[in-house]
Structure 1
Amino acid sequence: MATASGQPVRRRRTTARGAASAVSPVLTTLAVLAVLELLTRTDVLPRRYLPAPTTIVGELVRQLGDGDLWTALGQTLGGWLLGLAIAIAIGVPVGLALGGSDLLWSAFRPVVEFLRPIPSVALVPLAVLTLGTGLQSKLLLAVYAAVWPLLIQAVYGIRDVDPVARETARVYRVRGRDRFLRVTLPAVAPYLATGLRVSATTALILTVTAELIIGAPGLGQAVNVARQADNPPLVYALLVVVGLLGWGLNAVLARLERRLLRWHPGRREAAR
């Protein structure tokens, strides 16, 4: 009886906590915007360099009807998606190969540990000299930054496969393809999902950075043009677009990860 009556109470508490966690970020954001609006309208903050949030929103609404914004957004998204795809194609198989062999990992680990800390921005002069200021340079920076989280997570994931499960599959003479699909892939999948989210964010950051520094077409270049035209509201409006883009992509990947890995015990525990 106590258990039956307690379940609705726990369900209501869970629902209330979920509603509060969804509403509180919105209220906090609105409060911060209201404070900024007050400070800029009363000239506590210099309106010349920090326009009021309502001014930025108005500029953003105007830009939504301008085809140039959508063109720049498409160029940024296209560079990000292509760079991330190349990073996946390189990082995942190389990471699985290195992690699956103690000999290969011990041989190539010094190379990985040497190259991985090098900031992608340090490659800007090389990219400009060899590839110019177009899409290729943007891809070089994005791929170089995004490939390492995927590669390292693939290495750690395959090295974390349960040796008992691996040996059991080998003893029962499970074919190599089935052994990979039924034993290795389920163990590696959570690591790859984490690496994908980190790499996706990193690739977007470096894509916009390349557009800002190199001048490759995209949102970063549009920000530079607005800065040179001395148009702070447009600069901030474009930065809002970049921020919303990053937030949206991360939210989509997180939701996709929860759906695809809902079978994983760790994900079920986190959900509870």
Structure 2
Amino acid sequence: MSAVPTAERDPAVLAPTVRGRRSGRSGTMVRRLASQAFVWVLVAAAWELVCALHVVSPDLLPSLRSVAKAAPELLTESRFWDATGSTIGGAAIGFALSLAIGIPLGLFLGRAQFAERSTQLVLDFFRAFPPVAVMPVLLLLYGVTLKMKVIVVILACVWPVLIQSIYGAKSLDAAVVDTVRAYRIPRMLTFVQVVLPSATPFIVTGVRIAATTSVLVAVAVEIITSSAGLGRLIGTLQFDRQTPMAYVCIFAGGIMGYLINWLVKILEDRLLAWRPTDSGE
């Protein structure tokens, strides 16, 4: 009778392999962070070089040192936090309504082939329609209000959620569909146990895109219409020739978008913990 190989049954033999994998992943993460930090250093050095050579006027591109000096002063002012709250509020409301509209409608269109084919031309047309083009009409209807900003955010954010939900609902394997029909599984149970898990990875991708887009669109609307928020504060600071402070607001908007994307990524990892992960082997 042949003996079982020691490497297959002795945990002490397997432990170095596990530790090696963990150390390999840690090394990969360290290299990734180092490369990202190196790119940031290059960008900062190029920025400072352009400012030192006076390639661009300081009124348009201040040095990073002046931006860093202006940051503590602006961050202690209530107008900055009031503007940030207005931007986050408008973006959050528009984003939430985009999810409430896009996910159910996308799942319905993805599973109802006739409805999806009938609406495809309309969806393609309005998806390519720039939300900024309807702002004059919205300004006439609602003025410079929160409602106007929320509508523009919805018009920009609903499409990635809607389209990804359609793709997710259509991603069911033909064998799975045939099995559901053969066993006559109720529609609600099919939706909860089959359609929704299959569509969730696609939906989460659309949610990540819409989450970041909501902040960018909200700031853009505030700049164009001078509605309350970071966008209006940026315009005011630039008009007062306080360009370093304006760049502090610009960086704040970028940080907000990054943090939102990071939070959605954490949510994605928890919702999709059941997915098999790539071991890197």
Superposition TM-score, scaled by structure 1 size: 0.91
Alignment CA distance shift 1:177-1:192 (3 Å) = same
Pairing 1:134-145 to 2, within 5 Å after superposition: 134-145=145-156
SS in 2 for 1:161: coil
How far apart are residue 34 of structure 1 and its match?
Answer: 3.6
How far apart are residue 15 of structure 1 and its match?
Answer: 1.2
Instruction: Give me the whole-angstrom Cα distance separating, in 1, the residues matched to 2:238 and 2:135.
Output: 21
Paired amino acid for 1:234: M
Q: Confirm or deny that 1:102 pairs with 2:113.
A: yes
Instruction: Give me the whole-angstrom Cα distance separating, in 2, the residues matched to 1:49 and 1:81.
Output: 30
Range with bigger deviation, 180-189 or 41-50: 41-50
- Residue in structure 2 matching 1:131, options 131, 142, 165: 142
- Residue in structure 1 matching 2:85, options 74, 78, 82: 74
SS in 1 for 2:57: coil
Paired amino acid for 1:174: I
- Residue in structure 2 matching 1:225, options 236, 257, 260: 236
8 Å CA contact 1:98, 1:155 repeated in 2: yes
Instruction: Give me the whole-angstrom Cα distance separating, in 1, the residues matched to 2:113 and 2:132.
Output: 32
Aligned equivalent of 2:61: 50
Pairing 1:221-260 to 2, within 5 Å after superposition: 221-260=232-271
For structure 1, the 5+ residue unaligned runs are none
Aligned equivalent of 1:114: 125
Paired amino acid for 1:111: V
Aligned equivalent of 2:214: 203
Instruction: Give me the whole-angstrom Cα distance separating, in 2, the residues matched to 1:99 and 1:31.
Output: 45
SS in 2 for 1:269: coil
How far apart are residue 6 of structure 1 and its match?
Answer: 4.6
How far apart are residue 174 of structure 1 and its match?
Answer: 3.2
State the number of aligned residues.
Answer: 270
Instruction: Give me the whole-angstrom Cα distance separating, in 1, the residues matched to 2:80 and 2:279.
Output: 39
How far apart are residue 269 of structure 1 and its match?
Answer: 2.5
Aligned equivalent of 1:186: 197
8 Å CA contact 1:41, 1:47 repeated in 2: no
Instruction: Give me the whole-angstrom Cα distance separating, in 1, the residues matched to 2:263 and 2:35.
Output: 20
How far apart are residue 41 of structure 1 and its match?
Answer: 4.3
Paired amino acid for 2:238: R
How far apart are residue 7 of structure 1 and its match?
Answer: 4.4
Alignment CA distance shift 1:43-1:261 (3 Å) = same
Aligned equivalent of 2:3: none
Superposition TM-score, scaled by structure 2 size: 0.88
Q: Which has the larger radius of gyration?
A: 2
Range with bigger deviation, 214-223 or 252-261: 252-261
Instruction: Give me the whole-angstrom Cα distance separating, in 1, the residues matched to 2:224 and 2:49.
Output: 34
Aligned equivalent of 1:163: 174
Q: Confirm or deny that 1:28 pairs with 2:39.
A: yes
Q: Deviations over 1:63-93 (max 9, x none)?
A: 1111111111111001011001111111111
SS in 2 for 1:254: helix
Paired amino acid for 1:28: V
- The root-mean-square deviation of aligned C-alpha atoms, in Å, is 2.2
Alignment CA distance shift 1:42-1:108 (3 Å) = closer
Alignment CA distance shift 1:235-1:263 (3 Å) = same
How far apart are residue 254 of structure 1 and its match?
Answer: 1.6
8 Å CA contact 2:169, 2:195 repeated in 1: yes
Paired amino acid for 1:126: V
- Residue in structure 2 matching 1:63, options 74, 98, 106: 74
